[in-house]
Amino acid sequence: MHDAIVIGAGPAGITASLYLARSACSVLLFEQMTPGGQILMTDILENYPGHPKGIKGYELSDLFLAHLDGLAVERVSGTVESVSGAAGNFVARSDGNDYAGKTMLVCTGARHRNLGLENETKLVGRGVSYCALCDGNFFRGQTVAVVGGGNSALEEALYLSKIADKVYLIHRRDSFRGAKTYLERLEKASDKVSILHDTVISSLHGETALTGLTLKNVHSGKERHLSVDGLFVYVGFTPMTDCLPENLVRDSHGFITTDTEMRTNIPGIFAAGDIRSKLCRQVITASGDGATAAQAAFVFLEQLHV
């Protein structure tokens, strides 16, 4: 029986584990794959305070993990399939084993969304990608498209402009929700980057590898063909809540609703990071959530013991 089970080893889960362990709580931290979460898919973080020149995603992740060294955090590699029980005795089931914890901290984050186009799944790894950092190098000197209008799409289009010969940034509206600073830099790189506003991708072409896209103007309905070697999809994220109890309250997009102390509607279950219904999804806010969730869980544990 651990004081806390933390599900997810991204910035929220690592920070929560760190704070709980420093408060002398025993912690079991589940990591599904490589710990670090989405930072590992990020080339460079330019807005993480204390690193004015930016810091590589993998470097920050290594530093986060190093912070757990020597602390009472038991790390388990595996996927949590279900969570059951109640405060004082929650059970996380993973790979046929049950793990018991008095409190549960859900820091599972979110997975990328896809476009839902007909042969999208078939072309993954054959031109269609969701990670420029992982796959960008395959397109050195080639032509790629990035779809989306948020920070991910803008950042990754910038990253790809240093590798590919030509980058098309495709967005369904005429204004972007991503930061202006990225947009300005993309506009400055107009020799390599073309921005296509008010445009959606209506189909993907290619049997064994992606060869091109059909683009449609959302106003005129006019379609045209664009030849590309790669397509990077950045159209947002879906919360990873599959393993969680159905009666855990979520918002209309499926993100978990909490109060300001990261408490969910189920006593003893806290949520932190990108999984949470909130305005801002950044490494720094995920860490902040993790710290708050840990402190709230600590207070909860104290009350459980009286």
* Six-digit token string for 138: 């395959």
* Six-digit token string for 62: 């290594």
Report how many residues bind ligand NAP under the rule CB under 6 A. Answer: 20
**Which window, 57-65, 79-87, 119-127, 230-238, contacts ligand NAP (CB under 6 A)?**
230-238
Single residue of 127, 150, 212, 268 touching ligand NAP by CB under 6 A: 150
* Residue 131 annotated as catalytic: yes
47 binds ligand NAP (CB under 6 A): yes
Strand runs (DSSP E) across 107-247, as ranges?
110-112, 128-129, 143-147, 166-170, 193-196, 199-205, 212-217, 223-227, 230-233, 237-239
Nearest distance from C-beta of residue 241 to ligand NAP, angstroms:
17
Q: Which is nearer to ligand NAP, 216 or 281 (CB)?
A: 281
Q: Which is nearer to ligand NAP, 65 or 200 (CB)?
A: 200
Read off the DSSP letter of residue 252. T
One of 25, 43, 107, 135 is an active-site residue; which one? 135
For the purposes of burial, counting CB atoms within 10 Å of the CB of 247, is it exposed (0-12), middle (13-18) or buried (19 or more)?
A: exposed
Residues 6 or more apart whose Cβ sits within 8 Å of residue 236:
112, 113, 148, 150
* Residue 135 annotated as catalytic: yes
Strand partners, 231: 128, 145
Closest CA to 274 of 260, 290, 261, 263: 290
Measure the CA dihedral 235/11/291/266, to 10°.
Answer: 60
Site for ligand NAP in 108-127 (CB under 6 A): 115
219 binds ligand NAP (CB under 6 A): no
**Which window, 28-36, 68-76, 169-177, 189-197, contacts ligand NAP (CB under 6 A)?**
169-177
Site for ligand NAP in 54-73 (CB under 6 A): none
**Which window, 134-142, 146-154, 202-210, 251-259, contacts ligand NAP (CB under 6 A)?**
146-154
Note the residues at the interface with ligand NAP (CB under 6 A): 47, 115, 147-153, 155, 172-173, 177, 200, 234-237, 281-282
Catalogue the active-site residues: 131, 134-135
